Amino acid sequence: MRFYLGFDMNEMNALPSIARMDLNLFRVFEVIFRERNLTRSAAVLHVSQSAVSHSLARLREHFSDPLFLREGRGVTPTVLAQRLAPGISESLARLQRSLEGLQDFDPARDVRTFTLSLPEQLEPVLLPPLLGQLRRYASRCKIRTAGIRWSELKLELAAGRVDLAVQIARPADANLRQRQLLAEPLCVVAGPDFTGELTTERYLESEHIAVASWRRGLSFEDLALGHLGLMRKVVQQCQNYQAASLVVAQSDLLLTMSRRHAELINTAGANRILAMPLPLPSIGLSLYWHEAAEHDPANRWLREQVSALAQNSSSGVTAPSLE
């Protein structure tokens, strides 16, 4: 297995050779870099803290660099460690996937924990039926979800810390593979006291509540409005559509979301579901994975499960924020 650590050839020639190095040390490096604490690293690796300290000493000697400096109760990486980390993580992930690729995946027999990156708003739509599929066909497999920012997603997928990600459709890096899951038209949810017609002028002049996963995240509809040279008045922001719909029911605020999801969560209330007066595009959701996992049987199986559930879902989709 060839390790490429992210340096150019001149820099590589200046670094010590790994020909005689115990490659298990790279696993220790990866865990320390992620945990930033030697005690937690030892727990993750199922070894003693003294064993981790000994491995770190060998790494320091090999690279002639402290690699990790004490900071409070933990450690912080040096500049060299920060430069080494992405290449080490990706190389270890590629090695793991190469070994996994030699084996067939039997969902009824194999034990596997998948990590799926989902924005918080999508968990109620995709996670319950996906867990149902696992209980039925892959009872020894588990799903762990995480919300990964788009700016960090490539590294997380490349390092193997995330198997699949569901995100708003957008151009992706050449190392990422992408498959469209579905597209949903937008609608506007208004409170029970809303009367009359929702025109473009009224939509833009009204006050809105927006749903966004991240503190500085830009919602799908705001990005689409920006492409038309328009801007709405967002006076409130929250993290999920259920809460936003409750706010709308008690105020004059408008909420923009996918029609099927609006119909699902507003069935018991008196909120009104109105047609979007502007020519905004449908919300497109795509499934992303790293090229290194393209032929991994387990990853391929999970991709098919998520794709099938998305196509068959009657719950609608929500719009994660964009960064």
Residue-wise pLDDT for 55-73, tens only, equals 999 999 999 999 999 999 9
Domain limits, CATH 3.40.190.10, in the chain:
112-183+284-312, 186-281
Instruction: Select 9-101's CATH number: 2.40.50.100, 1.10.10.10, 4.10.93.10, 3.90.78.10.
Output: 1.10.10.10
**Backbone CA torsion sign across 307, 313, 316, 321:** negative
Q: Which fold has domain 112-183+284-312?
A: D-Maltodextrin-Binding Protein; domain 2 (3.40.190)
DSSP three-state, residue 134: helix
Global confidence as pTM: 0.58
CATH code at 186-281: 3.40.190.10
Give the Cα separation of 88 and 94 in Å (integer): 10
Q: How confident is the model at residue 2 (pLDDT cuts 50, 70, 90)?
A: very low
Domain limits, CATH 1.10.10.10, in the chain:
9-101
Position 103 scores a pLDDT of 64
Strand extents, DSSP E, the chain: 68-71, 74-77, 112-117, 141-146, 164-168, 176-184, 186-190, 207-211, 233-238, 254-258, 272-275, 283-290
Residue 223 backbone dihedrals phi, psi, to 5 degrees: -65, -40
Q: Looking only at Cα atoms, what is the longest distance across the chain?
A: 77
User: Using one digit for the tens of pLDDT, what is the confidence trace for 139-196?
Assistant: 999 999 988 888 888 888 988 889 999 988 887 788 899 998 888 899 999 999 999 9
Q: How confident is the model at residue 4 (pLDDT cuts 50, 70, 90)?
A: very low
Within 8 A by CB and 6+ apart from 186, the residues are 221, 256, 257, 258, 259, 276, 280, 282, 283
User: Using one digit for the tens of pLDDT, what is the confidence trace for 272-321?
Assistant: 999 999 999 988 889 999 988 888 889 999 999 999 888 776 444 555 54
